[in-house]
Amino acid sequence: MLSSPPHQPNQNRLLAALPVAEFERLKPHLELVHLPLGDVLCESGGRLSYVYFPISTIISLHYILENGASSEIAGVGNEGMLGVSLFMGGESTPSWATVQTAGHGYRLKAALLMQEFNQGGSVQRLLLRYTQALITQISQTAVCNRHHTIEQQLSRWLLLTLDRLNSEELIMTQELIASMLGVRREGITEAAGKLQQAGIIRYRRGHITVLDRSGLEKHVCECYEVVRKEFERLIRDVGNVR
Amino acid sequence: MLSSPPHQPNQNRLLAALPVAEFERLKPHLELVHLPLGDVLCESGGRLSYVYFPISTIISLHYILENGASSEIAGVGNEGMLGVSLFMGGESTPSWATVQTAGHGYRLKAALLMQEFNQGGSVQRLLLRYTQALITQISQTAVCNRHHTIEQQLSRWLLLTLDRLNSEELIMTQELIASMLGVRREGITEAAGKLQQAGIIRYRRGHITVLDRSGLEKHVCECYEVVRKEFERLIRDVGNVR
DNA sequence: AGTAGTATGTACGCTACCGCACAAAAATGC
DNA sequence: GCATTTTTGTGCGGTAGCGTACATACTACT
């Protein structure tokens, strides 16, 4: 691996949406970190000492059931942050947070975020709007789990993941995708096989390349678009908030 | 129907959890309303002019898909409120809100709630904690949809509904329950039949009576308990918030 | 180059749930 | 009381996805 690409806090869309004054105030406290695949940032019921603003990493929020089964409820990429339960007042959640795609992000001491949040104003407004977008994502996951096929769900998941990366290629085994969607690995093999035969994706041992994004958009269920639009609506420049 | 039972704002646990000063300030503005079954309080993308604090009514938050299929993502009873999107800053959500159980509740002009919320302090803290509990409920619904049987989900749904009512009897057709859970009506007939044979419930045309609550608790998946505990933890007296 | 380990492909029987069709029973209205 | 409507019961073929088992192929290590 050659030298890392340059990272800047404003590559996180949430941070970038902050007014200049607040952004500059937070900036000196933002610490660039690399998050390796599979890293557990928060266990069920655990407390975060930092909040994370992904740049090139994706963090998965998921549940693990008593029988060992698991499901992702939402993902967090450069459009968002990990740690909303802090300012929501619960301090912990029953979900887990693990690194789904290795990469960089900025972290910020929880206490500092709370300090900003409690001043009200733009930071608070923005974080709450982001949280609402997260609620939409979780809700849509619930509905999609109920009514759509694995192939549709895989398409949704791929598009959402793609939107969070600048690349067309994801480092991701079928096993891992399966555990995100809460289905069998074989189910992903089959669905991915269909997408590959349609010329939409190509994959090889842990690497999935999307060849035809618009083809994927034709395969996906409505859930993708609902989530995407809601993020667009809710986390544009906070100055636009009436 | 004889005279209605007396209703008091503090029968809503969220209102009851407010400090006295804030409660008294809101009280004169709370308006008792009766909500009939099926009433649509908010369509997808619509805005609320009031927020609602259920007493004996239950409001269902649900999605309707393009193909007409639907699923509940969460319910709102006397433990909560309808309208979190207002203070979350989004003003609308892609979900619908309809009355699942007819009954009474208090409503409050959206502007007045916003005024209280924006003062920060206890009201804000409590509402955000409630919103986090709502997120847990939605998340657990997503996971439950994926991994548990109709019988388990029905049990979960019955218990959550019972907790919101003072009665052991729900006015509810199997058709309606099916559309909440996003499954076929026949699936509910079958699952309910099993519960009836086990002596746990009894039903007749739109009335379901729970005979053996602890039996139901043995049938249910873990999802019920996770949601219940999280509500307990998050919306006890707001004075307990550290 | 050979080997161990990991990732993917495939097959087969099984189950939960679906979609549909229709019968039976209970409530409602006239 | 009788007809209509609504709700619930039941049956049947179809299917998506599961659990299991095992084969194949790619990668990495020595």
Mutate to test the interface with B, among A63, A223, A230, A241 (most CBs of B within 10 A): A63
**Residue A110 scores a pLDDT above 50:** yes
**Residue A45 scores a pLDDT above 60:** yes
**Residue A237 scores a pLDDT above 90:** no
Q: Which whole number is the average pLDDT over A23-41?
A: 96
- A2 falls in which pLDDT band (50, 70, 90)? very low
**Residue A40 scores a pLDDT above 50:** yes
**Residue B38 scores a pLDDT above 90:** yes
Angle at B199 between CA B148 and CA B174, to 5 degrees: 55
What integer pLDDT is reported at residue A6 of this predicted model? 80
What integer pLDDT is reported at residue B240 of this predicted model? 46
- Decide if B75 contacts B140 (C-beta within 8 A): no
**Residue A115 scores a pLDDT above 50:** yes
Burial class from Cβ neighbours inside 10 Å (0-12, 13-18, 19+) for residue A92 reads: middle
**Residue A239 scores a pLDDT above 60:** no
- B73 falls in which pLDDT band (50, 70, 90)? very high
Mutate to test the interface with A, among B64, B91, B146, B153 (most CBs of A within 10 A): B146
Compute CA distances A3 → A32, A35, A156, A157, A164, whole Å. Answer: 15, 16, 32, 30, 21
Compute CA distances A118 → A23, A127, B17, B35, whole Å. Answer: 16, 11, 21, 36
Instruction: From chain A, pick out residues whose CB is under 8 angstroms from the CB of B61.
Output: 139
DSSP calls for A184-220: -HHHHHHHHHHHHHTTSEEEETTEEEES-HHHHHHHS
pLDDT > 70: what percent of chain B? 95
| A93 with B120: Cβ contact below 8 A | no
Q: Does B133 touch chain A (CB under 8 A)?
A: yes
pLDDT > 90: what percent of chain B? 90
Best CA proximity match to A15, nearest among A75, A64, A99, A79: A79
What integer pLDDT is reported at residue B166 of this predicted model? 86
Best CA proximity match to B151, nearest among B228, B201, B219: B219
Enter the tokens of residue A161. Answer: 């993941």
**Residue A240 scores a pLDDT above 50:** no
Enter the tokens of residue B52. Answer: 């609602």
Beta bridge partners of A42: A97
Enter the tokens of residue A33. Answer: 């970190």
A212 touches strand C (CB under 7 A): no
**Residue A25 scores a pLDDT above 50:** yes
Chain A residues 162-201 within 7 Å (CB) of strand C: 173-175, 185-186, 189-190, 192-193
What integer pLDDT is reported at residue A166 of this predicted model? 86
Distance of CA B144 to the CA centre of its chain: 17
Burial class from Cβ neighbours inside 10 Å (0-12, 13-18, 19+) for residue A132 reads: buried
- Give the global pTM: 0.95
What integer pLDDT is reported at residue A207 of this predicted model? 95
What integer pLDDT is reported at residue B6 of this predicted model? 80
* Mean confidence (pLDDT) of chain B: 94
Q: Which of A90, A146, A222 has its CB closest to that of B71?
A: A146
DSSP reduced 3-state for B41: strand
pLDDT in tens, A129-175: 999 999 999 999 999 999 999 999 999 999 999 999 989 999 999 99
Q: Which whole number is the average pLDDT over B207-219?
A: 94
Q: Measured on CA atoms in the order B5, B9, B10, B12, is the torsion positive or negative? A: positive
Considering A51-55, A87-91, B237-241, the range whose residues carry the highest mean pLDDT is A51-55
Q: Helices in chain A by DSSP H: which ranges?
A: 13-16, 20-26, 84-88, 110-118, 121-147, 150-164, 174-181, 185-197, 213-219, 222-234
Q: Measured on CA atoms in the order A138, B221, B134, B78, is the torsion positive or negative? A: positive
Between B160 and A4, where is the model more confident?
B160
Q: Measured on CA atoms in the order A176, A180, A184, A189, is the torsion positive or negative? A: negative
Q: Which whole number is the average pLDDT over B156-175?
A: 95
**Residue A17 scores a pLDDT above 90:** yes
Enter the tokens of residue A184. Answer: 């069998």
pLDDT in tens, A168-202: 999 999 999 999 999 999 999 999 999 999 999 99
| A139 with B230: Cβ contact below 8 A | no
Distance of CA A174 to the CA centre of its chain: 18
What integer pLDDT is reported at residue B103 of this predicted model? 95
Rounded distance, CA B157 to CA B133, Å? Answer: 16
What residues contact A32, with CB distance under 8 A and at least 6 apart? A7, A104, A105, A106
Enter the tokens of residue A160. Answer: 């959402």
- A4 falls in which pLDDT band (50, 70, 90)? low
A174-183, A214-223, B3-12: lowest mean pLDDT where?
B3-12
* Mean confidence (pLDDT) of chain A: 94
- B1 falls in which pLDDT band (50, 70, 90)? very low
Strand A207-210 to strand B31-35: parallel, antiparallel, or no bridges (unpaired)?
unpaired
A146 touches strand D (CB under 7 A): no
- Decide if A25 contacts A115 (C-beta within 8 A): no
What integer pLDDT is reported at residue B236 of this predicted model? 81
What residues contact A216, with CB distance under 8 A and at least 6 apart? A155, A158, A159, A195, A200, A201, A210
Compute CA distances B3 → B6, B7, B123, B168, whole Å. Answer: 9, 12, 33, 20
Best CA proximity match to B235, nearest among B9, B17, B11, B85: B17
